[in-house]
Amino acid sequence: MLARARPEVPPFTLPGRSVRLRTASHDRFWWHRLESTDYVPELYSNLSHREWAVLEGWFTQTGRRGRIAEINVPAMSLVTALVSGNGIRRVVQLGHYYGYSALLLGFTLRAMGARPGLFTIDIDPAACEFTRRWLEHARLCDHVVVREGDSADPLSPDAAAVLGGLPELILVDSSHSYAHTLAELNLWTPRLPVGGLVLLHDASEFATAFDPSAEGGVRRAIAEWLPAHPEMAGLTLNGHVAPGADGNALVYKDACGLGVLQRVR
């Protein structure tokens, strides 16, 4: 009698992956300690075994170096799902820091066959070099192009020339300062086609503390810029969330907030 074949175990049910981060004490893993998040999110469960091993190695090395300021699970889950669910193949990222979001977007775009699909720029030379090394380790250099520079500089490289067309999505996660965010919006939104999207992380009241100029940060920039630009429509997720908010009580769990803008004409 033939033995009954065992069904293949999906990789996200195997021991390890991000489930073990629930017991990690560092603040960077706060999402994994929420009351309702005792599982592996699709952001990680969709990765191959090698991709997850790369990300684990990235967590270890950035932790040792103290380079911990990456975008979080709720925001990155929204970004990667938006890209993969809509066939978005031309993405610009303003501010990648040490590369967490560049890696995850790279994995997503590679699965879609987009090459290159991401143009990402950051002003920090060390962060750019670190990100390039990890993209090379992840075999993503055909899918992600890294540039060093100021994302608000009018002389910044032409992303459309690199990507082969106008960007469909722009992810802003750079300085978080009020004036710099205004300059980024003024520079990059005219480069969007009608229907193109801009996502701005750290757009809540809580995240105004991240503005080194103490002028109101991304939240103020969106609030003042959007009414003056009727070609753009938008809203801010969790813009109202203040310091001390209980993450368990939030529907969208990211207390840092996310601005969502679209070019409508």
Query: Could you read off the pLDDT tens digit of each residue along the chain, which spans 265 residues?
Result: 333 343 444 443 445 799 999 999 999 999 999 999 999 999 999 999 999 999 999 999 999 999 999 999 999 999 999 999 999 999 999 999 999 999 999 999 999 999 999 999 999 999 999 999 999 999 999 999 999 999 999 998 889 999 999 999 999 999 999 999 999 999 999 999 999 999 999 999 999 999 999 999 999 999 999 999 999 999 999 999 999 999 999 999 999 999 999 999 9
- With respect to residue 198, please indicate whether it lies within any of the assigned structural domains: yes
Residue whose structure tokens are 């920090």: 124
Q: What's residue 156's pLDDT?
A: 85
- 239 closest CA partner among 251, 225, 256: 256
- With respect to residue 42, please indicate whether it lies within any of the assigned structural domains: no
Residue whose structure tokens are 């990765």: 47
Tally Cβ neighbours within 10 Å of residue 142: 14
Q: What's residue 86's pLDDT?
A: 98
- With respect to residue 59, please indicate whether it lies within any of the assigned structural domains: yes
Q: What's residue 15's pLDDT?
A: 55
| Domain harbouring 87, CATH code | 3.40.50.150
- With respect to residue 64, please indicate whether it lies within any of the assigned structural domains: yes
- For 159, the domain range is 48-263
* Upper half-sphere CA count for residue 109 (Cβ side, 13 Å): 29
Q: Let me know: does 78 contact 104? Beta carbons within 8 Å.
A: no
- With respect to residue 6, please indicate whether it lies within any of the assigned structural domains: no
Q: What's residue 157's pLDDT?
A: 83
- With respect to residue 80, please indicate whether it lies within any of the assigned structural domains: yes
Q: What's residue 187's pLDDT?
A: 97
Q: Let me know: does 239 contact 206? Beta carbons within 8 Å.
A: no
**Residue by residue, what is the 3-state secondary structure of 44-77?**
HHCCCHHHHHHHHHHHHHHHHHCCCCCCCHHHHH
- With respect to residue 31, please indicate whether it lies within any of the assigned structural domains: no
Domains in the chain, number: 1
- With respect to residue 32, please indicate whether it lies within any of the assigned structural domains: no
